[in-house]
Chains A and B, each alone.
Chain A
Amino acid sequence: MKSAVVSQLLRVLVPDTRVWLQVCPWKVPAGFPSPAADYVYKSIDLNEHLIRNKEATFVFKVKGDSMTGVGINEGDELLVDRSIEARHGHIVIAILNGELTVKRLHQRGGVVKLIAENPRYPAIVLKDGQELMVWGVVTRNLPKSFC
């Protein structure tokens, strides 16, 4: 009932189209139908695999080279989940001087730092009384496609 209400009022625009890839575990014969055809049991749903919480997941595009050390390059697409509590070691989208930036979160012994994964950029250490605002936690990187 509930989902009926919502979808009727407003089109769901979260990545919601399912991509079904059949896992076909036998060789495809030319000529007569496979006897295994009745036993297709598995299909892969990329949305289900990549997105844990649809309502809280957003996609960002990477600009710049501050995270190349962990394979996040310019033009890559990042999945960001806002429902995950940011912890030490997470790659996060942080709010820095009014801008959104992707960095690794360091939170140890009362020290909070945003670390770039590129030796050319220094870590950003938060000063006393400065509050770190985390926008969301990066869960996946979708690098540029090969073709």
Chain B
Amino acid sequence: MTTAVQQLALVDCNNFYVSCERLFRPDLANVPMVVLSNNDGCVVSRSNEAKALGIKMGQPWFECKGLAEEHGILAFSSNYELYADLSNRVMQTLSNFSPSQEVYSIDECFVDLTGIPKLREVSYAMRARVGMWVGMPVCVGIGPTKTLAKLANHVAKKHPRSKGVFNYSALNPEQKARLLAQLPVEEVWGVGRKLTKRLALHGIQNVLDLREAHVPTLRAEFGVVMEKVQRELQEVACIKLEEVQADKQQIISSRSFGSMVTELPVLKDALSTFVANACAKLRAQGSHASVIQVFLQTNRFRKDLPQYMPSLAVPLPQPTNDTLEVNRWADYLCERMFRASYQYKKAGIMLSEISPVTHQQGDLLEPASVGNTRLMQALDSLNQRYGRGTVKVSTQGVYAQWQMRQERKSPCYTTRWEELPLV
């Protein structure tokens, strides 16, 4: 008996955030537009029209203002509530095509199509169904390994002739070599700009060069990770499909402020919101943390202002996921670090040394129970039912000053009754 060769599809939404914004705004169909990052800072998603006008990914929005005015480019604040809902719908719709799927990011997932006949037809069916059900344009790339599936997806996106689907596995060896020779090595999953430069020094310019590179030299110069990438390009699967996301080992919650903050109570307010988010995540994955770190930052781009970027960590007396308990420590650390006369631009907390709640080690000196489990359960279920922030710590979210700037945000069409689309 022979086992079928693995066939993985990478399904990736086209210009995901922009496509989400367009779903309930058909008038924006051909309008050049972008979606901005938190605090309306940088461009994080571009429509094809905006790309054609030369707007770059990650470009600060203030740099685009001239171009935007000249061509009428629209900008939206990011609306993650809308994007998350539409992402769920896309992923759920795709899950019907295969028993195993790895949701890799908010806008892409791997679908295992091993052993399924007529891969092209299935791929077009996935595309058509997501388009019809959720109104989301997607591209499908198929390959025998994750790395090749990602590369195939890139081809599907870039070449209009592919009509959104590209199957690397269907090529013969000459076609494969010819294709890989045309693709620059930086298009390979996991090869960043820095590695691209270093690879170039070794004469590795395109993907074919990397696939055929001398193995011992490659390993010696770039380590086993690069060797794995090479093996994946040689159609040997080294990166497994992860159906269940591993629990997070670190939870960071931080944000840049909408405007500069100078007062201690406002900082504490922001921090307690970060603590509430991080602890809710901890509880959702059934774990607790042993270390909390708090950091404050002034605006490093304002060279004219005094700079101060302190950070302090403490081990918690007992591992906990209790919002109130962690909040007390965040408060304490914030007070210790706070210096008046600085203008703070960003703050955040990091919880680490995370372990499942069941692994609790008792402490000789501390009382055994830390935190109020039932109170936290009640808090989570109320916030789940009536929306985030319904019940919160009294220091949380009183001051508007630190909150995110989202001046161009669209309605949460699919998640809030009071923001439904009108018809």
Binds A, one of B61-69, B129-137, B260-268: B129-137
Please give the distance in Å from B38's CB to the nearest CB on chain A: 18
- The answer, yes or no, to whether A28 is at the interface (CB within 8 Å) is no
**Contact residue among A2, A4, A12, A55 (Cβ-Cβ distance under 8 Å from B134):** A55
- The answer, yes or no, to whether B390 is at the interface (CB within 8 Å) is no
- The answer, yes or no, to whether B243 is at the interface (CB within 8 Å) is yes
Please give the distance in Å from B132's CB to the nearest CB on chain A: 6
A10 touches B106 (CB 8 A): yes
**Contact A2 B423, CB 8 Å, known A14-B85, A98-B27, A100-B24:** no
Binds B, one of A31-39, A56-64, A111-119: A56-64
Binds A, one of B87-95, B230-238, B328-336, B356-364: B87-95
B26 touches A100 (CB 8 A): yes
A1 touches B243 (CB 8 A): yes
**Contact A8 B285, CB 8 Å, known A63-B423, A133-B26:** yes
Which residues of A (1-17) have their CB < 8 Å from a CB of B? 1-6, 8-14, 17
**Contact residue among B26, B102, B384 (Cβ-Cβ distance under 8 Å from A99):** B26
B103 touches A9 (CB 8 A): yes
**Contact A10 B26, CB 8 Å, known A2-B243, A61-B422:** no
Q: How far is the CA of A13 from the CA of B29 in the complex (A)?
A: 25
Q: How far is the CA of A60 from the CA of B417 in the complex (A)?
A: 9
- The answer, yes or no, to whether A105 is at the interface (CB within 8 Å) is no
**Contact A55 B92, CB 8 Å, known A1-B243, A82-B132:** yes
Interface size class of A (residues with CB under 8 A): 35 or more
**Contact A100 B421, CB 8 Å, known A5-B102, A55-B92:** yes
B26 touches A98 (CB 8 A): yes
DSSP majority for the A interface? mixed
- The answer, yes or no, to whether B244 is at the interface (CB within 8 Å) is yes
Interface string of B383-423 (1 = CB under 8 A from A): 01100000000000000000000000000011101001111
- The answer, yes or no, to whether B245 is at the interface (CB within 8 Å) is yes
Query: Taking CB as reference atom, which chain A residue is nearest B85?
Result: A13
A14 touches B243 (CB 8 A): no
**Contact A99 B27, CB 8 Å, known A8-B245, A13-B415, A14-B89:** yes
B26 touches A13 (CB 8 A): no
CB contacts (< 8 Å) of B245 on chain A: these are: 5, 8-9
Q: How far is the CA of A33 from the CA of B285 in the complex (A)?
A: 40
A55 touches B285 (CB 8 A): no
B103 touches A55 (CB 8 A): no
**Contact residue among A53, A100, A101 (Cβ-Cβ distance under 8 Å from B133):** A53
CB contacts (< 8 Å) of B244 on chain A: these are: 1, 4-5, 8
**Contact A11 B92, CB 8 Å, known A60-B421, A77-B420, A95-B26:** no
- The answer, yes or no, to whether B284 is at the interface (CB within 8 Å) is yes
A82 touches B103 (CB 8 A): no
Q: How far is the CA of A62 from the CA of B132 in the complex (A)?
A: 23
Interface string of B1-36 (1 = CB under 8 A from A): 000000000000000000000001011010000000
Which residues of B (114-145) have their CB < 8 Å from a CB of A? 132-135
Interface string of A44-84 (1 = CB under 8 A from B): 00000000011110111111000000000000011000110
**Contact residue among B87, B93, B103, B132 (Cβ-Cβ distance under 8 Å from A5):** B103
Q: How far is the CA of A93 from the CA of B133 in the complex (A)?
A: 14
Q: How far is the CA of A61 from the CA of B411 in the complex (A)?
A: 13
B421 touches A61 (CB 8 A): yes
Interface string of B101-113 (1 = CB under 8 A from A): 1110010000000
CB contacts (< 8 Å) of A60 on chain B: these are: 420-423
CB contacts (< 8 Å) of B91 on chain A: these are: 6, 10
CB contacts (< 8 Å) of A82 on chain B: these are: 132-135
CB contacts (< 8 Å) of A59 on chain B: these are: 414, 417, 420
- The answer, yes or no, to whether B252 is at the interface (CB within 8 Å) is no
CB contacts (< 8 Å) of A62 on chain B: these are: 422-423
CB contacts (< 8 Å) of B27 on chain A: these are: 98-99
Query: Taking CB as reference atom, which chain B residue is nearest A78?
Result: B423
**Contact residue among B87, B100, B420 (Cβ-Cβ distance under 8 Å from A10):** B87
**Contact residue among A11, A61, A98 (Cβ-Cβ distance under 8 Å from B29):** A98
Query: Taking CB as reference atom, which chain B residue is nearest A62?
Result: B423
Best-buried of B135, B421, B422, B423 by chain A (most CB within 10 Å): B423
- The answer, yes or no, to whether B353 is at the interface (CB within 8 Å) is no
- The answer, yes or no, to whether B81 is at the interface (CB within 8 Å) is yes
- The answer, yes or no, to whether B376 is at the interface (CB within 8 Å) is no
Q: How far is the CA of A1 from the CA of B241 in the complex (A)?
A: 13
- The answer, yes or no, to whether B213 is at the interface (CB within 8 Å) is no
**Contact residue among A3, A6, A55, A100 (Cβ-Cβ distance under 8 Å from B423):** A100
Q: How far is the CA of A60 from the CA of B411 in the complex (A)?
A: 13
Can you list 7 contacts pairing A with B, beta carbon distance less than 8 Å? A6-B88, A6-B92, A8-B285, A55-B133, A56-B89, A98-B27, A100-B422
Which residues does A use to contact B, with CB under 8 Å? 1-6, 8-14, 17, 53-56, 58-63, 77-78, 82-83, 93, 95, 98-102, 133, 135
The 3 closest A-B pairs by CB, nearest first: A98-B27, A56-B133, A13-B85
8 additional contacts (CB under 8 A) given A1-B100, A10-B103:
A2-B101, A6-B88, A8-B245, A17-B385, A60-B423, A61-B422, A93-B423, A95-B26
